[in-house]
Amino acid sequence: MSESISLLTHNWSFAVFLLGVVGLIAFMLGVSSLLGSKAVGRSKNDPFESGIVPTGGARLRLSAKFYLVAMLFVIFDVEALFLFAWSVSIRESGWAGFVEASIFIAILLAGLVYLWRIGALDWAPASRRERQAKSKQ
């Protein structure tokens, strides 16, 4: 009997919580619609960010290198998490875990060297790199 009472108490408390959340949302939306400004103006619908009036369009064309570097960051960041999990359990994993982590790091380094060799990590345009190479000679 006490288990069913405890379950009923839990369900009622959750129902009261949900009712409170819905009530709070309704209150905030209602008050903002009643007290909010309803003025219509020429610049009312213009975006206003950090006190700076926007210029130009919102659609920027970014270089594909930006996305490539972003993907590389995410990949290497997730792999760093794997290495952190391995370092926490290093005593339990023993030598087998050490060998597996070494292979994992070697594959990461091979991938990084490959990306470096094909120029995926170069931000400078080819013309600027050529000028720098000529100025060094």
Phi, psi of 57 (to 5 degrees): -90, 165
Tokens in use for 100? 């597996």
Q: Which residue, 47, 67, 64, 65, is CA-closest to 56?
A: 47
Flag residues of the chain having pLDDT under 50: none
**Architecture label for domain 62-122:** Up-down Bundle (1.20)
Residue 108 near residue 76, CB atoms below 8 Å? yes
Residue 125, pLDDT score: 67
Residue 18, pLDDT score: 94
In this structure, the dihedral spanned by the alpha carbons of residues 122, 128, 133 and 137, taken in order and rounded to 10 degrees, is -160
Whole-model pTM? 0.46
Task: Spell 69-90 as b/e; 16+ CB within 10 A means b.
Answer: eeeeeeeeeeeeeeeeebeeee
Residue 127, pLDDT score: 66
